[in-house]
Structure 1
Amino acid sequence: MSEDHPPEIDEDGTIVESSYVAGCAIDPELAGQIVGLAELPWDDPGTVDRALRDLGWSDDDVPVDEARFVTAAGHVGYGDDCLYLPFAHSYSVGGELWPEDFWGSLPGWSSQRGAGREEFDAHLDAAVDRFAERLGPPECDVRTEGRRQGIGRYSWRYAAWRRGGNILVVGPALDGFSYGQDEEAVVYLGGFAPDAPFPAAADFLNLMRC
């Protein structure tokens, strides 16, 4: 649960808008599961569905309508022919769009009020390190120049590994629920030709779509 839940209320009863970062860490068990999934043919939904069920990932009581499943640790996953698994969110609480700390209230998640770029990047770097423990250093580790609309004047990091005919990527994306105002750090897994060149840093965002 959120460390700072519920949001701050001012003397007029108005929710004070604050920046938050919420996370649900990629632990060694989940990292191992994802590495195993990277060996599957993601163009074969039946095989993938059976593998997800065998891992105990559930499609019951998902907290977001668009989601496909929830991991045993509480990660909300998306995608039919790929895996799109957020493990950190950077967002603001307050106002009409996000009046409550939704992400920090999910089982398995915790959030920090007043957190920003440093805390968000720390979640991402920790996930990269977790996969590097199993797969070795990323085969591709690049950063954007921070010029894309909506992400400000800072750099986004993408780390990627080839896994046969698939690619495993850890990196940030724009959170669709906020109309691109907020960010999320995700693990992406999907088909990728063994001889295909890695995308340029600015093109990873388009690659990581399910």
Structure 2
Amino acid sequence: MSEDHQPEPGEDEADIESCVAECPIDAELAAQLIGLADLPWHDPAVTGRAMRGLGWSTDGVPTDEARFVTAAGHAVYTDYGLYLPFVHYYVVGGELWPDDFWGSQPGWTSQRGAGREEFEACLDVAIDRFAEQLGPPECDVRTEGRYLAIGRYSWRYAAWRRGGTILVVGPALDGYSYGQDEEAVVYVGEFAQDRPFPAAADFLSLLRK
């Protein structure tokens, strides 16, 4: 079991494993997301039409709150922009987490016993996919290490401006796990052209489902 996740009192540590599940960002999806980032995100009719035009479905979404699911299997949330998780880092086992939910979703693969190194490697690969088409990130920052329930971490965020929109790749807390689990996401949303990029520690508040 990874040192990042600790068992609850009374649970058998041997039954609990850290897990990293991924649905990768390939070159085609990166291009689609870049195209969406060039749209006016203050107009949900325009962006919704564009996502349906990409073949993203409103059927079979993996969570109740998701608006679309991509052809590859990513859940897409659109309450405050576009929020698309592509990696989840969590624990499986014991009474609280008996099932590997994300590892069982179409298009996703999970690795038991994986930890922070594997999670960060998936994030770095996704940033590279966008950099291949957009060039290096205009903002590439890392938070200072700190402790949460998930352990000590330092998160990397990469961002590109697209006119009055921002495209960000970075980690967030999974809101459905009471702050125990993490996910790496692509975020697209309104961002004034003259607005400074956030400090590393403030990117988390920018990313919203």
Query: Once the 2 structures are TM-superposed, how far is the Cα of residue 209 of structure 1 from its aligned partner?
Result: 1.0
* TM-score of the superposed pair, with normalisation by structure 2: 0.91
Counterparts of 1:132 and 1:105 in 2: how far apart (Å)?
30
Residues 80 and 208 in structure 2, CA contact (< 8 A), matched pair in contact too: no
Please list the CA deviations of residues 4-58 of structure 1 after superposition, one character each: whole Å capped at 9, or x if unmatched.
xxxxxxxxxx981111000000001000000000011111011011100100001
Q: Does residue 167 of structure 2 align to residue 158 of structure 1?
A: no
Aligned-residue offset at 1:156: 0.4
* Residue type of the alignment partner of 1:17: I
Structure 2: distance between partners of 1:15 and 1:94? 9
SS of 2:152's partner is coil
How far off is 1:79 after superposition?
A: 1.7
Match of 1:26 in 2: 25
Displacement of 1:143 in angstroms is 0.4
The answer to whether the 8 A contact 1:15-1:95 is kept is no
Q: Distance in 2 between matches of 1:118 and 1:29?
A: 26
After superposition, the C-alpha distances for 1:48-87 in whole angstroms (9 at most, x for unaligned) are: 1110010000111212111111000000111234000000
SS at match of 1:167: strand
Give the deviation of 1:146 after TM superposition: 2.0
RMSD of aligned alpha carbons: 1.4
| 1:201 CA drift (Å) | 0.2
Structure-1-length-normalised TM-score = 0.90
Q: Identify unmatched segments of 5+ residues in structure 2.
A: 1-12
Structure-1 residue corresponding to 2:109: 110
Name 1:8's counterpart in structure 2: none
Paired letter, 2:123? L
- For residues 203 and 41 of structure 1, what CA distance do their matches in structure 2 show? 24
**Partner residue of 1:131?**
130
Residue by residue over 1:148-206, the C-alpha shift from the partner in whole angstroms, topping out at 9 and shown as x without a partner, is 63453221000000000000000000011111101000000000000000000000000
Match of 1:66 in 2: 65
Unaligned runs of 5+ in 1: 1-13
Q: What letter matches 2:66 in structure 1? A: A
- Structure 2 counterpart of 1:65, one-letter code: D
Q: Quote the residue 2:94 is aligned against.
A: 95
- Give the Cα–Cα distance (whole angstroms) in 1 for the partners of residues 18 and 148 of structure 2: 19
CA drift at 1:95? 2.4
Give the whole-Å Cα distance in 2 for the aligned partners of 1:134 and 1:38. 13
Q: Whole-Å Cα distance in 2 between the matches of residues 154 and 106 of structure 1? A: 27
Task: Measure, in 2, the Cα distance between the counterparts of 1:128 and 1:107.
Answer: 23
Separation (CA, whole Å) in 2 of partners of 1:96 and 1:63: 22
Give SS of 1:50's match. Answer: helix
Q: What amino acid is the match of 2:160?
A: W
- Report the residue type matching 2:161 in the other structure: R
Q: Which residue of 1 aligns with 2:180?
A: 181
Partner of 1:199: 198
Distance in 1 between residues matched to 2:141 and 2:47, nearest whole Å: 29
Report percent identity of matched pairs.
Answer: 74
**Per the alignment, in what secondary structure is the counterpart of residue 148 of structure 2?**
coil
Tell me: CA distance 1:148–1:169, structure 2 relative to 1, closer, same or farther (3 Å).
Answer: farther
